[in-house]
């Protein structure tokens, strides 16, 4: 057994026995293999929970969870039930600190409260979490029960995060809007209210199958029961059926953008007591605000989240009491006791934390041409280099580079003029003016099927009327083609790589303002500067920028045209393809070019740029691709809610009766399920726009791609592991019911 000494310590208002272990026997197996380990606090000690009962939590208890990745990195969660005693939650906190110490201070720590768990925690239990009444104190044990002993009623709530709560075994516990599981040990009945929708039935069935297969080792019989068709066995247990309560709306708060607001504080214990001082009143923050010698609190209490970031060189006492400091902070701010706490070591920051910073760079980000990719919530995956020839059979590459094909298909372009589509002269394809809006129809073959994408390009200087007309004309064009095309809305300056590759090897040229209409051109400035850069998919884009030396960049090529000369400036890190593109830009602008190498500029080069100034001279930091995030937009509760899907998402998380939003960092996808209702369809583009506009890291104007169920391009499907194009050919509910009967 473990050796320990007992010390009186105060935790909250209670004095409890603190156990300072030299080592704990349970720690000997902790983190040795990837996966999840769960312990319950029993009599101030750790007791492992049997694996087949993972996902069951007694509401009177506290638990410690450790999730280990292959890297390895560690995630420690202490979970408290609503009826858990202060002594038990105190012991859980102490064990969490000790486990953190044992694993070298590198784990991320979470404090979890019943019904308010983090997405990371919920992601471990994709089938759902089951809350059981009672706990250690009342003699309830985590044991594989004799099947005859069980008799409980579970109320199932949730569409993304599934929670089953044990309620009183009586008809008065039921309502028509939810699913319930009557668990009688050998027999498990899933009862569905008459107002319960298909996706909720599907999720409830997954949970019922999980109980049968794991808790009963597959030895129980599972039956589906409809409201009004209850078998005698149910009436025998519940008594004669009384009238069932109507559906109750979920009491979730309306999703508002102020949930994304946060403040940043520095923690100090200089005077022997923990104090906080404001670093920044409001997000987005800059990464430089975090000194490696200090600990910080990021306060997102409006959305029930508080983070503590531990600088690697901060003093040990500050680092050790990080969780306690956060709890104290929550009390001082009068935040809800259900507020989520995450304690993060430098280098172990979660997506949720990093989203509050406008310029977050991870230390393993590369400066070369490849990006380190983080797929899913935790796993690191190297970026796949771009290779146009293998696009059709490599969906992950297509998704990472946002390329459905190599751009060699058919292109048609119209300009929005007076509320109509006017064809653009094909000889000028690839040139876009900031005073215009354009519709680009791209058609290509995928196997034997013809596919279509409509890009709606909106200039930053186009009028409100043109913007509205471009949206309307896109819908009209989509309807005329039977609603099959993928729609992509593009704001000037945010062009996706695929759009840049449609112009047969020529660069895409973006003029700041003006228009390509007949007689509509405004006079261009006497000095113009174009910035030429190649994307990861090797397509190039030339963007007109303010003619100032501060806009130069050592990684790229620039074309400078003044009234009397044209220069092609080549940065030290520029590519040959960028030089070729520059020569084409010169041919469009006119004039005889002079090539200039960085550092060897003649005097006449700087004067049109307003003189020599500092500019970007460090090699390009390719942003690490952020983990994709999936959200469901649903108004099943009577108002439109946006909820994130917990854990690593899969294709089956796409609810066919909802609109789903997939955020892949540099673009947003809206996926329209076949059974989504009109409100969801018409309001979701606004939600996507609000989502980007309220993004705490300050991302703005991202391309928003709208796709329909059954017509998903590889740029979307590549974010899902093992995508099955035939998945929805059989009804998912029928499929799971067949599994239930097995």
- Neighbouring CB atoms inside 10 A of 618's CB total 10
* CATH of segment(s) 257-354: 3.40.20.10
Please name the CATH architecture into which domain 147-238 falls: 3-Layer(aba) Sandwich (3.40)
Q: Please, are residues 541 and 533 in contact by the beta-carbon 8 Å criterion?
A: yes
Q: Please, are residues 333 and 299 in contact by the beta-carbon 8 Å criterion?
A: yes
Question: Which residues have C-beta within 8 Å of that of residue 141, sequence separation ≥ 6?
Answer: none
Instruction: Kindly state the average pLDDT of the residues 575-579.
Output: 91
Q: What are the pLDDT digits (tens) for 637-695?
A: 666 778 888 877 888 899 998 899 999 888 899 999 999 888 888 888 888 888 888 77
Fold entry, domain 403-503: Severin (3.40.20)
pLDDT at 20: 46
621 pLDDT more than 50: no
pLDDT at 623: 45
Q: Which helix (H) or strand (E) holds 96?
A: helix 86-102
Quick check: helix, strand or coil at residue 103?
coil
Rg (CA), the chain: 29
Fold entry, domain 4-138: Severin (3.40.20)
Copy the structure tokens of residue 488: 């992509």
Copy the structure tokens of residue 316: 């040990």
Q: What's phi and psi for 500, nearest 5 deg?
A: -65, -20
**Whether CATH 3.40.20.10 fits 525-624:** yes
**Averaged confidence pLDDT in the chain:** 83
**CA 724, CA 709: separation in Å to the nearest integer?**
12
Q: What's phi and psi for 178, nearest 5 deg?
A: -125, 170
Across 157-171, 260-274, 367-381, 397-411, the highest mean pLDDT is recorded for 157-171
**CA 202, CA 213: separation in Å to the nearest integer?**
16
Instruction: Kindly state the average pLDDT of the residues 365-389.
Output: 40
276 pLDDT more than 60: yes
Q: Which helix (H) or strand (E) holds 345?
A: strand 340-345
pLDDT at 639: 67
Task: Please name the residue that has the structure tokens 């005329």.
Answer: 480
Q: Which residue spans of the chain are classified as CATH 3.40.20.10?
A: 4-138, 147-238, 257-354, 403-503, 525-624, 629-741
pLDDT at 256: 47
Copy the structure tokens of residue 76: 């420690």
* CA distance readout (Å), 225 to 221, 234, 236, 656, 736: 13, 10, 15, 23, 14
Quick check: helix, strand or coil at residue 647?
coil
Beta bridge partner(s), residue 412: 441
**CA 395, CA 722: separation in Å to the nearest integer?**
10
Lowest mean pLDDT among 155-159, 187-191, 284-288, 733-737: 733-737
- pTM score: 0.65
Q: What are the pLDDT digits (tens) for 472-510?
A: 899 899 989 988 888 888 888 778 888 998 998 899 999
pLDDT range class, residue 78, cuts 50, 70, 90: very high
Q: Which helix (H) or strand (E) holds 20?
A: strand 14-21
Please name the CATH architecture into which domain 629-741 falls: 3-Layer(aba) Sandwich (3.40)
Q: Please, are residues 249 and 634 in contact by the beta-carbon 8 Å criterion?
A: no
Q: Please, are residues 567 and 560 in contact by the beta-carbon 8 Å criterion?
A: yes
1 pLDDT more than 50: no
**CA 286, CA 45: separation in Å to the nearest integer?**
42
Which DSSP string do the residues of 651-716 spell out, in sequence order?
Answer: GGGS-TTSEEEEE-SS-EEEEE-TT--HHHHHHHHHHHHHHHHT-TT---S--EEEEETT---HHH
Q: Angle, to 10 degrees, between the axis of helix 322-332 and the axis of helix 86-102? A: 140
């Amino acid at each position: 057994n473990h050796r320990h000494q007992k010390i009186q310590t105060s935790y909250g208002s209670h004095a409890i026995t603190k156990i300072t272990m030299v080592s704990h026997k349970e720690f000997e197996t902790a983190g040795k293999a990837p996966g999840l380990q769960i312990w319950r606090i029993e009599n101030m000690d750790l007791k492992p929970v049997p694996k087949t009962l993972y996902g069951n939590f007694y509401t009177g208890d506290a638990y410690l969870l450790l999730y280990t990745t292959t890297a390895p990195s560690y995630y420690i969660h202490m979970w408290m039930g609503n009826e858990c005693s202060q002594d038990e939650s105190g012991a859980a906190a102490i064990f969490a600190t000790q486990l953190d110490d044992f694993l070298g201070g590198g784990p991320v720590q979470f404090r979890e409260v019943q019904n308010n768990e983090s997405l990371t925690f919920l992601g471990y239990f994709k089938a759902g979490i089951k809350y059981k009444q009672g706990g250690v104190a009342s003699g309830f044990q985590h044991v594989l029960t004799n099947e005859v002993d069980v008799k409980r009623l579970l109320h199932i709530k949730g569409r993304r995060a599934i929670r089953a709560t044990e309620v009183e075994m009586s008809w008065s516990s039921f309502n028509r809007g939810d699913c319930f599981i009557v668990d009688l040990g050998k027999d498990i009945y899933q009862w569905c209210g008459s107002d319960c929708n298909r996706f909720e039935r599907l999720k409830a069935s997954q949970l019922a199958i999980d109980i049968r297969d794991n808790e009963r080792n597959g030895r129980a019989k599972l039956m589906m029961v409809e409201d009004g068709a209850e078998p005698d066995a149910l009436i025998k247990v519940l008594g004669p059926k009384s009238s069932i309560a109507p559906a109750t709306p979920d009491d979730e708060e309306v999703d508002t953008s102020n949930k994304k607001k946060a403040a940043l504080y520095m923690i100090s214990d200089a005077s022997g007591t923990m104090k906080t001082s404001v670093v920044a009143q409001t997000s987005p923050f800059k990464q430089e605000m975090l000194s490696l010698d200090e600990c910080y609190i990021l306060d997102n209490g409006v959305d029930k989240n508080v983070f503590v970031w531990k600088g690697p060189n901060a003093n040990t006492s500050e680092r050790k009491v990080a969780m306690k400091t956060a709890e104290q902070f929550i009390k001082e701010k009068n935040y809800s006791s259900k507020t989520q706490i995450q304690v993060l070591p430098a280098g172990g920051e979660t997506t949720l934390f990093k989203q509050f910073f406008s310029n977050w760079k991870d230390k393993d980000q590369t400066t070369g041409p490849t990006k380190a990719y983080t797929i899913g919530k935790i796993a690191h995956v190297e970026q796949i280099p771009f290779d146009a020839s293998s696009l059709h059979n490599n969906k992950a590459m297509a998704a990472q580079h946002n390329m459905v094909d190599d751009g060699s298909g058919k292109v048609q372009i119209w300009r929005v003029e007076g509320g109509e589509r006017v064809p653009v002269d094909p000889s000028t394809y690839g040139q876009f003016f900031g005073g215009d809006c354009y519709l680009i129809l791209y058609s290509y073959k995928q196997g034997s099927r013809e596919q279509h994408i409509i890009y709606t390009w909106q200039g930053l200087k186009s009028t409100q009327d043109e913007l509205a007309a471009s949206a309307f004309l896109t819908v009209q064009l989509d309807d005329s083609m039977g609603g099959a095309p993928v729609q992509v809305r593009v704001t000037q300056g945010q062009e996706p790589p695929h759009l840049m590759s449609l112009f047969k090897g020529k660069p895409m040229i973006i003029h700041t303002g003006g228009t390509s209409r007949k007689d509509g051109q405004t006079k261009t400035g006497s000095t113009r500067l174009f910035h030429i850069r190649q994307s990861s998919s090797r397509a190039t884009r030339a963007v007109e920028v303010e003619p100032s030396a501060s806009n130069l960049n050592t990684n790229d090529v620039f074309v400078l045209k003044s009234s009397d000369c044209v220069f092609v400036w080549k940065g030290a890190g520029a590519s040959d393809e960028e030089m070729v593109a520059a020569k084409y830009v010169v041919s469009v602008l006119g004039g005889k070019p002079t090539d200039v190498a960085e550092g060897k500029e003649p005097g006449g080069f700087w004067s049109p740029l307003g003189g020599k100034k500092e500019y970007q001279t460090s090699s390009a930091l390719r942003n690490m691709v952020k983990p994709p995030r999936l959200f469901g937009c649903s108004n099943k509760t009577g108002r439109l809610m946006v909820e994130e899907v917990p854990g690593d998402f899969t294709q089956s998380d796409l609810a066919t009766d909802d609109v789903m939003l997939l955020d892949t960092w540099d673009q947003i996808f809206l996926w329209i399920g076949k059974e989504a209702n009109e409100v969801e369809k018409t309001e979701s583009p606004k939600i996507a726009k609000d989502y980007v506009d309220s993004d705490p890291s300050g991302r703005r104007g991202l391309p928003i791609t709208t796709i329909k169920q059954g017509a998903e391009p590889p740029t979307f499907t590549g974010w899902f592991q093992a995508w099955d194009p035939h998945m929805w050919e059989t009804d998912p509910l029928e499929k799971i019911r067949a599994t239930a009967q097995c």
